[in-house]
């Protein structure tokens, strides 16, 4: 919400609602007995002009957060790989490099 590169995407969003759906999505992936009850990811992100760089920034924030909380490397790597596997559902921009 406060990140200068991607925070603007959340300016009209409820922080608590986003946190709940992020929790559900992560918990389900990590094997908890929790079901993600949000919209399909493609539908949830379709209205936003998310580019590859935005996607990469969110991944980096996730990585930093996991490291700061001493999450084991194997879980960090699996979580980041899972996040990357969702790229096509979140953005139609395949990469993060500048093409100008």
* Per-residue confidence (pLDDT) for residue 2, from 0 to 100: 86
How does pLDDT run across 12-53, given as a tens digit for each residue? Answer: 999 999 999 999 999 999 999 999 999 999 999 999 999 999
Residue 100's pLDDT band (cuts 50, 70, 90) = very low
Sequence spans of domains, the chain: 7-90
pTM of the model: 0.86
- On whether the CB atoms of residues 96 and 55 are closer than 8 A, the answer is yes
Give the list of residues 6+ apart from residue 54 with CB closer than 8 angstroms, or none: 5, 6, 9, 91
* Per-residue confidence (pLDDT) for residue 94, from 0 to 100: 75
CATH architecture of 7-90: Orthogonal Bundle (1.10)
How does pLDDT run across 54-88, given as a tens digit for each residue? Answer: 999 999 999 999 999 999 999 999 999 999 999 99
């Amino acid at each position: 919400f406060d990140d200068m590169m991607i925070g603007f995407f959340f300016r009209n969003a409820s922080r608590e609602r986003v946190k709940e759906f992020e929790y559900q999505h992560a918990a389900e992936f990590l094997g908890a007995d929790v079901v993600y009850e949000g919209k399909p990811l493609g539908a949830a992100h379709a209205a936003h002009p998310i580019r590859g760089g935005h996607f990469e920034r969110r991944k980096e924030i996730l990585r930093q957060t996991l490291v700061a909380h001493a999450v084991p490397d194997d879980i960090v790597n699996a979580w980041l790989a899972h996040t990357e596997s969702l790229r096509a559902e979140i953005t139609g921009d395949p990469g993060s490099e500048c093409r100008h």
